[in-house]
Amino acid sequence: MPKKRHQNRYSKPQSTAPASLSSTAARRNDSHQDDASHGRGVNELLAGLRRAGLSGSGQQPPDEVRPTVHPGIRQLLQIPETPPPRPRRPVRFGPSGARLPAGPAPPRSWLSGPERAGDALQRSARAHEQRPLPGMRLPAPGSMVDMVLRRFALDWEWQRVYCQYHLYELPTHLRTALLAYLVTYTREGVSLHDLQAVLLPPPDVPEYQEDPSLAPSVVNEAFCHLDLSGSVGRSLKLRELSDFLFPRERESIDPQESWDAPEQYSAGIPRPLLPNLTHLSLALDPASSHAVSWRHLLSFATHLPGLTHLSLAFWPEPTLTPNAKLASVVSPQTGGAVQYGGTGPYSHSLDDDWAEQVLVLRRLSRSLYGLEYLDLTGCGDWFPALWASAGEGDTVDWTGAWGKITTLAMYPGYRLGEDAGLAETARYWEFVDYARRLERHVRTRRAGKGRFVTVETCRRPGELDK
């Protein structure tokens, strides 16, 4: 009997393998490829990557290095020419001819040189005018250092604590500029704590106390400019400034013991904190002029024989008894009232008596005999004391103690407004006339034998520069 043909009830099986089998095969292929790649060298792998990049982009990277071929063989095999290498950046040279480092040129603000303090600091926000000491170098306005120091001064209360271990290690010119910025951009100026943070090392770091080369008197040897404008009488007292800059002897030493050990005697006398200080600004805020004392200034000046530039702008008239101007005592001999202080209420206006002021200025000149520049801006009320006589022929010594002074700044200290009255205008130009009179007086006293002196003050409208 013929066999029966059964119809296939099932569909044809799939020609592709299941997903599980395909993934296993793919992993095997990848493992084989990894083994093959490990067998190849690094140069072959890099060449494969370059070929893959060229096939995708159709361009040849300019940094690819091809082996050189002889020109004759290149013509026979029709090999294309090797592309030339990329041109290098031109070499930059500085103004002195030295080769500059690689990279983009720095911004112009980084390269701008320092300018004078009068151009860098804007003190016009105050009602009075103060002139910075000459020779003080500060960063140029708008430079990176200027912006950093300004921001530093505005956040000083936080920066003084956060950077307390780094302020002492800053370069001297940056610390000098930092104190000047604190004077300008803070309300109270510089305090004793600010000076300690900038000029003294941290007390809890033993390395500073053990190493003599890191002592404050050694690190601050190049510190010549100290701007304390508007600080004395407000946040800083002159007596505590004197004790801070010129510490007293630590302990009394027997002279007989010091004879046997001279190094012990020298170690007991501390050096000044700023041994080479030459420029000092003690300019006052006119609102705080009543809080200073000429007694303290005379005592402080005995430590500064090497000072060459000093600013006493807006200081009150020199007197040792400022609160006794209206006081009087009864004389036991005559029974009459006698003026208690050296200056009375009518000493200047009626009697033209400047004896006490002359004596105080003479004492100051004996201590500051190295001055070459003196700023008396805003002191017009006692300008006549600079040429007046004390009664016995004693005047301010412009040929001896102050014979080195070549520049006197004697500005009125404020600007004359358009709405100023006749009395105020007359008083303003009277101060200018006082400055011109002192200039003639000093030149006459020196009679061409001493240094030539110049008095800086305002000019009248239409007056030419001398």
- Is 266 domain-assigned? yes
Write down the mean pLDDT value for the chain. 78
pLDDT of residue 428: 92
Residue 118, pLDDT score: 43
Percent of the chain at pLDDT above 70? 70
Whether residue 197 is contained in a domain is answered as yes
- For residue 4, give the 3-state DSSP assignment: coil
Beta strands in 171-265 (DSSP E): 225-227
Spatial CB neighbours of 424, under 8 Å, sequence gap ≥ 6:
416
The answer to whether residue 264 is domain-embedded is yes
Using DSSP, state whether 380 is helix, strand or coil. helix
Write the pLDDT tens digit of every residue in 121-164. 444 334 466 778 888 888 998 899 999 999 999 999 999 999 99
Maximal CA-CA distance, the chain:
175
How many of the other CB atoms lie within 10 Å of CB of 147? 13
DSSP string, 407-429: EEE---SS---TT--HHHHHHHH
The candidate with the shortest Cα–Cα distance to 177, out of 132, 219, 131, is 132
At residue 256, the pLDDT reads: 52
Its sign, for the CA torsion 137, 142, 147, 153, is positive
Is residue 50 over pLDDT 60?
yes
**Is 241 contained in some domain?**
yes
Token pair in block for residue 435: 């400055």
Q: Is the pLDDT of residue 250 over 70?
A: no
107-127 residues labelled b (16+ CB within 10 A) or e (exposed): eeeeebebeebeebbebeeee
174 assigned to some structural domain: yes
d(Cα 265, Cα 254) in Å, to the nearest integer?
Answer: 9
Q: Which amino acid is at 352?
A: D
List the domain range (segments joined by +) for residue 205: 110-222+233-274
Q: Which residue has the higher pLDDT, 366 or 263?
A: 366
Domain membership flag for residue 130: yes
Q: What percent of the chain has pLDDT over 90?
A: 41
Q: How far is CA 184 from the centre of its chain?
A: 11
**Higher pLDDT pick, 463 / 316:** 316
Helix axis angle for 172-185 and 192-199, nearest 10°, is: 160
Average pLDDT over residues 257-276: 64
Reported as a single tens digit per residue, the pLDDT across 190-216 is: 999 999 999 999 888 888 888 888 889
User: CA 433, 395, 456 angle in degrees (round to 5)?
Assistant: 30
Which of the listed ranges 71-85, 140-154, 245-259, 384-398 does the model predict with the highest average pLDDT? 140-154
What's the confidence (pLDDT) of residue 125? 38
Asked if residue 215 is part of any domain, the answer here is yes
Separation between Cα atoms, residue 433 and residue 431, nearest integer Å: 5
In a domain, 97, yes or no: no
Model confidence, pTM? 0.69
Domain count, the chain: 1
pLDDT at 271: 85
